[in-house]
Amino acid sequence: MLDAQSTWQTFVFYLLPTFSLQALSSALEALRLANEVVGRDVYRWQVISDDGQPAASSCGLLVCADSSLAFERERARRSMTPPTVVVVGGRNAPSMHRQLDAWLRECRNRRGSLVGISGGTIALARAGVAEGRRCAVHWEQFPLFSERFPLVLATQTAFERDGDLYTCAGGNAPFDMFLDLVGRHHGTIVANRVCEKAIAFRTRSAGDRQRLPLHSQVQLNHQAVIKVVELMEANLTEPLLLDDIVRSAGLSRRQIERLFRRELGCSPSRYYLDLRLERAHLLLISSRLPVLEIAIACGFVSASHFSK
Q: Which residue has the higher pLDDT, 187 or 234?
A: 187
Find out whether 88 and 14 touch, Cβ atoms under 8 Å: yes
CA distances from residue 254 to 219, 243, 257, 275 in whole angstroms, order as listed: 22, 11, 5, 21
Report all structural domains of the chain as residue ranges with CATH numbers, in order of start: 9-197 (3.40.50.880), 214-307 (1.10.10.60)
Q: How many residues make up the chain in this entry? A: 308
pLDDT in tens, 92-138: 777 778 999 999 999 999 999 999 999 999 999 999 999 999 999 99
pLDDT in tens, 36-58: 999 999 999 999 999 999 999 99
Q: Tell me how far apart the alpha carbons of residues 225 and 249 are, in angstroms, rounded to a whole number.
A: 8
CA distances from residue 101 to 97, 127, 146, 264 in whole angstroms, order as listed: 6, 5, 19, 45
Q: Tell me how far apart the alpha carbons of residues 251 and 234 are, in angstroms, rounded to a whole number.
A: 20
Q: Band the pLDDT of 221: cuts 50, 70, 90.
A: low
H/E stretch holding 135: strand 134-136
- Determine the pLDDT at residue 200: 82
pLDDT at 308 over 70: no
Q: For the chain, what is the mean pLDDT?
A: 87
Sign of the dihedral through C-alpha 290, 294, 300, 306: negative
- Determine the pLDDT at residue 94: 79
What is the model's pTM? Answer: 0.78
pLDDT in tens, 244-299: 998 888 889 999 999 989 888 899 999 999 989 988 887 787 667 788 888 888 88
Phi, psi of 181 (to 5 degrees): -65, -45
Helix axes 223-234, 253-263, angle to 10 degrees: 90
Q: Are strands 159-162 and 165-168 parallel, antiparallel or unpaired?
A: antiparallel
- Determine the pLDDT at residue 176: 93
